[in-house]
A and B are shown apart, each in its own frame.
Chain A
Amino acid sequence: MESLNFDLASSSLSDMNRFLHRDLADGDRRHVSVLNPDGAHNIAVGLNHPVTVEVHGHAGYYAAGMNKHATVVIHGSAGTGVAENMMSGTVHVKGFASNGAGATAHGGLLVIDGDAGLRCGISLKGGDIVVGGSVGSFSGFMAQAGRMVICGNAGDALGDSLYEAVIYIRGTAKSLGADAQFEDMTDADYAALAELLSKAGLDHDPKSFRRIASARSLYHWNADADQEY
């Protein structure tokens, strides 16, 4: 398979993104390497073909945002909003990710080997996120659908105002957010978790995780809420 290199020390990011958008044929499965990303923003955003993009270094904001079909591997850390609003495909961050990782992702799989910052998976809409390390506060806030696996610990207000997304956590959460609750793991949870861990290349025992989901008490307006202190 043809392989291509873009060295951002000598060519522009726009040229590379333009190539990934305009010059690929439908179903293009080529392998593209990005050298010297040096924290540039918007690397490999909005991809729409099953290419593989390997970023060799640290990526800036919104790397692989709005991804569709592509596989993007970042051999370094990722800035704010990695894989935000992903539709499908896979994004794998080998280092740590900053705030808002995988925000609003509709589909696809985001794997972060290191820690993720605050608000990881905020407003998740159907994507899957596996974090090898820990996540910051307000992760999974208002997550509507999809699954989030946290192998380490979580900060404050994990899963605040969850809808139907499910969180699996191996370590401890500093606190759960409003309406989030621990629930018993079912066989279906263990199977789903085993599959996600396997896809992420992690060999933790699914039995070591706990499930967090919505108590659904915020689903309906409670006119008496202010009387119930």
Chain B
Amino acid sequence: MCGIVGLLVKTPALKERLGELMVPMLIGMTERGPDSAGLAVFADPLPEGSRKLSLYSGLTDEGADFNWHGLTHALKDHLDVEALIDVKNNHAVLSFAVAPDMIKRWLREHHPKLHILSTGRTIDLYKDVGTPAEVAERYDFKSMKGSHLVGHTRMATESAVTPDRAHPFTAGEDFCLVHNGSLSNPNDIRRKLQPHGIHFDTDNDTEAACRFLEWRLREGDELEAALQRGFDEMDGFYTFLMGTPDKLALIRDPFACKPAVVAETDDYVAIASEFRSLAHLPGVKHAHVFEPAPEEMYVWKA
């Protein structure tokens, strides 16, 4: 069992309150996922040539005491790259105006235990073990601003409880996915992707789905075409919620084994595994509340 939450605001003023509206949604899913939690926030993009990486230092020897500013100085010394760093506990967003591959290669070489959570121009990603309330507090989720977000609370069934196996998973740039359920053919999917040079960070089943869909998008499929390929390729139980720079997308397996409910008003679209995570939202008593159908695609544009 896991909990999924998503929020996309339509009213520009609500972008400032995105995190504040989301935190009770995430905490409302604690019973469904008490062991880890995570959040991907999509905000205004960086300029064309810039990128940011969300980094996690919890697996390094220094942990939350990681020397983030030493990292930016070293990048300047070694690669002559001016990087900015925004630190929250054992997590930081590193931004710079060069191609990300060079930075990632350098990080893997010099800080192999530093985990790269996401890459892109719009996505910031946070995830760690702990209850949703603890994780939300650790990274000050309530202060997050942006147009849409994807959150998750985890009760692990398919792989160990570790920060890198928490959701959301990301692949490529500015794409993330969270999962409630379990896939029965993740290893088939891995074997199909590996010959394309696709590398996996963990043994988690959700990572296979995330990398599969991102691979289809990178190969030129529109989101809807990629999701249709997903229905054909992925076997098992799933409700998937995905985020791109301007969209949230939701699909459920043909047997609707895992729940989802949507509340939509003129101001927002909110998605959760259960209504109890939506009950606090402003105007929800008059929202259009519905249950997404199995094997249908739901895509909302920011």
Among B76-84, B111-119, B201-209, B289-297, the stretch that binds chain A is: B289-297
A194 interface residue per 8 A CB criterion: no
**Docked CA distance A80–B256 (Å):** 11
A136-B275 in contact (CB<8A):
no
A102 interface residue per 8 A CB criterion: no
Contacts of A146 in B (CB 8 A): none
With A117-B256, A118-B294 in contact, do A77 and B289 touch (Cβ < 8 Å)? Answer: yes
A38 interface residue per 8 A CB criterion: yes
Contacts of B291 in A (CB 8 A): 77, 96, 98, 117
A79 interface residue per 8 A CB criterion: yes
- The listed residue (B279, B293, B294) touching A39 by CB distance below 8 A is B279
CB distance from B180 to the nearest CB of A (A): 13
A136-B279 in contact (CB<8A):
no
* Residue of chain B at shortest CB distance from A80: B259
- The listed residue (A40, A77, A80, A99) touching B276 by CB distance below 8 A is A40
B256-A99 in contact (CB<8A):
yes
**Docked CA distance A39–B291 (Å):** 13
A58-B289 in contact (CB<8A):
yes
Contacts of B293 in A (CB 8 A): 136
B276-A38 in contact (CB<8A):
yes
A58-B275 in contact (CB<8A):
yes
B256-A118 in contact (CB<8A):
yes
* Residue of chain A at shortest CB distance from B254: A137
A171 interface residue per 8 A CB criterion: no
**Docked CA distance A173–B155 (Å):** 37
**Docked CA distance A79–B254 (Å):** 18
**Docked CA distance A137–B296 (Å):** 14
CB distance from A118 to the nearest CB of B (A): 5
B226 interface residue per 8 A CB criterion: no
0/1 per residue, A20-44, Cβ < 8 Å to B? 0000000000000000101111000
Contacts of B279 in A (CB 8 A): 36, 38-39, 57-58
CB distance from A39 to the nearest CB of B (A): 3
Contacts of B35 in A (CB 8 A): none
B274 interface residue per 8 A CB criterion: yes
Contacts of A60 in B (CB 8 A): 274-276
**Docked CA distance A195–B273 (Å):** 37
* Residue of chain B at shortest CB distance from A76: B289
Contacts of A138 in B (CB 8 A): 255
Interface residues on A, range: 20 to 34
- CB-contacts of A129-171 with B (<8 A): 136-138
- CB-contacts of B237-257 with A (<8 A): 254-256
B285 interface residue per 8 A CB criterion: yes
CB distance from A131 to the nearest CB of B (A): 14
Contacts of B290 in A (CB 8 A): 96
B294-A79 in contact (CB<8A):
no
Contacts of B256 in A (CB 8 A): 99, 117-118, 136
* Residue of chain A at shortest CB distance from B290: A96
* Residue of chain A at shortest CB distance from B272: A39
With A98-B291, A118-B256 in contact, do A39 and B285 touch (Cβ < 8 Å)? Answer: no
Contacts of A98 in B (CB 8 A): 259, 291
B259-A38 in contact (CB<8A):
no
CB distance from A224 to the nearest CB of B (A): 31
* Residue of chain A at shortest CB distance from B277: A39
CB distance from A145 to the nearest CB of B (A): 25
The 8 A-B pairs of least Cβ separation, nearest first, read A39-B275, A38-B279, A39-B276, A58-B275, A118-B256, A39-B279, A39-B274, A38-B276
Q: 11 more A-B contacts (CB under 8 A) besides A38-B279, A77-B275?
A: A57-B279, A57-B285, A60-B274, A76-B289, A77-B261, A77-B289, A99-B256, A99-B259, A136-B256, A136-B294, A137-B294
Interface residues of A (CB under 8 A from B): 36, 38-41, 57-58, 60-61, 76-77, 79-80, 95-96, 98-99, 117-118, 136-138
Q: 22 A-B contacts, Cβ less than 8 Å apart?
A: A36-B279, A39-B275, A39-B277, A39-B279, A57-B285, A58-B275, A58-B279, A60-B274, A60-B275, A79-B275, A80-B259, A95-B289, A96-B290, A96-B291, A98-B259, A99-B259, A117-B256, A117-B291, A118-B294, A137-B254, A137-B255, A138-B255
